Amino acid sequence: MIKIIKKKNYEEMSAYAAEMIAAQILLKPCCVLGLATGSTPLGTYSKLIEKYQAGLLDFAKVRSVNLDEYCGLSPEHDQSYHYYMKENLFSHINIDPDNTHVPNGMAQDMKAEGERYDALIASLGGIDLQLLGIGNTGHIGFNEPDSNFPTATHRVRLAQKTIEANSRFFASVDDVPKYAVTMGMTSIMSARKILLLANGVSKAEIIKKSFFDSVTPQVPASILQLHPDVTVVVDEEAGSLLP
Ligand code: GLP
């Protein structure tokens, strides 16, 4: 079931998301959080850091698994998702670095890396709360439109639209990696709770398509319509085409 919550702006969307994540940690201090990157969750991460600094939240027992990583970027590369997570969340809170996991984009054998990552998620007992953004192709993680929903963690060729959208973070479009390694739909859909965030007018169309149109692998996020516990939080702009 999908619950859609409309907030006035990015600030309020982020505050709501941070409250949901905080509630999860308070309920289960050793919970497994599925984490996302991109510009959308940055405000949520800042609010979580504020709560930690105010002594309201303790990450000591929290475990985390990230959705994805670019292939060929080392953890030290400033556009890698390893680096993003360290900069924007992990280094500001008391999470144990050994309890944080991001797929290895430098692995030689991506099939083995996918198997390792899925086994790791299973060994943690699965994901309690999965945070998601959404790409303008409808991708979640880096699961791009395809003829079927990919299941396991796997290597994916990024859609040209995604490469162009993400080129804003790189010196030029040619510097954007063409491949990524991403959790597949099995791990995402097995999460006990899912929280998807979207803000800005550029997400309005894909939000409507994902949640008010048919379920199709051409719009990867549409699969979430089949999950029992999804909360979608949008700002006014991203929610502007919703009934
Ligand atoms: C990236 C990430 C996704 C993210 C999406 C949207 O490429 N792999 O996890 O949700 O694109 O990014 P943004 O939040 O910057 O719009």
Examine residue 243 and state whether it is found in any structural domain, yes or no. no
207 token code pair: 């939000």
243 pLDDT above the threshold of 90: no
Examine residue 181 and state whether it is found in any structural domain, yes or no. yes
CATH, residue 67: 3.40.50.1360
Q: Each residue of 122-172: pLDDT tens digit?
A: 999 999 999 999 999 999 999 999 999 999 999 999 999 999 999 999 999
Cross-strand partners of 33: 64, 129
* Pocket test residue of 13, 37, 102 for ligand 1, highest count of atoms within 8 A of CB: 37
pLDDT of residue 214: 97
Judge whether 238 and 162 are in contact, CB under 8 Å: no
Neighbours of 168 (CB within 10 A): 9
Examine residue 240 and state whether it is found in any structural domain, yes or no. no
Judge whether 106 and 126 are in contact, CB under 8 Å: no
Which band of pLDDT confidence, cut at 50, 70 and 90, is reported for residue 81? very high
Does ligand 1 have an atom closer than 6 angstroms to the CB of 37? yes
Does ligand 1 have an atom closer than 6 angstroms to the CB of 10? no
Label the pairing between strands 32-35 and 179-182: unpaired
- Look up tokens 């949901």; give the residue: 20
pLDDT of residue 213: 97
pLDDT of residue 105: 97
Q: Each residue of 96-120: pLDDT tens digit?
A: 999 999 999 999 999 999 999 999 9
CA of 98 to the centre of ligand 1 (A): 25
Does ligand 1 have an atom closer than 6 angstroms to the CB of 31? no
pLDDT of residue 2: 95
Does ligand 1 have an atom closer than 6 angstroms to the CB of 64? no
pLDDT of residue 38: 96
Examine residue 242 and state whether it is found in any structural domain, yes or no. no
Specify the ligand 1 atom closest to the Cα of 40. 14
Distance CA 175, CA 150 (A): 26
pLDDT of residue 206: 98
Residue 84's H or E segment, with its range, is helix 81-88
Examine residue 6 and state whether it is found in any structural domain, yes or no. yes
Domain that holds residue 35: 2-235
Mean pLDDT of the chain: 97
Examine residue 163 and state whether it is found in any structural domain, yes or no. yes
Q: Each residue of 34-77: pLDDT tens digit?
A: 999 999 999 999 999 999 999 999 999 999 999 999 999 999 99
Mean local confidence (pLDDT), 231-241: 98
Which band of pLDDT confidence, cut at 50, 70 and 90, is reported for residue 1? confident
- Look up tokens 């670095």; give the residue: 97
Q: Each residue of 188-218: pLDDT tens digit?
A: 999 999 999 999 999 999 999 999 999 999 9
Examine residue 128 and state whether it is found in any structural domain, yes or no. yes
Total structural domains within the chain: 1
Examine residue 204 and state whether it is found in any structural domain, yes or no. yes
Distance CA 66, CA 104 (A): 10
Does ligand 1 have an atom closer than 6 angstroms to the CB of 135? yes
pLDDT of residue 93: 98
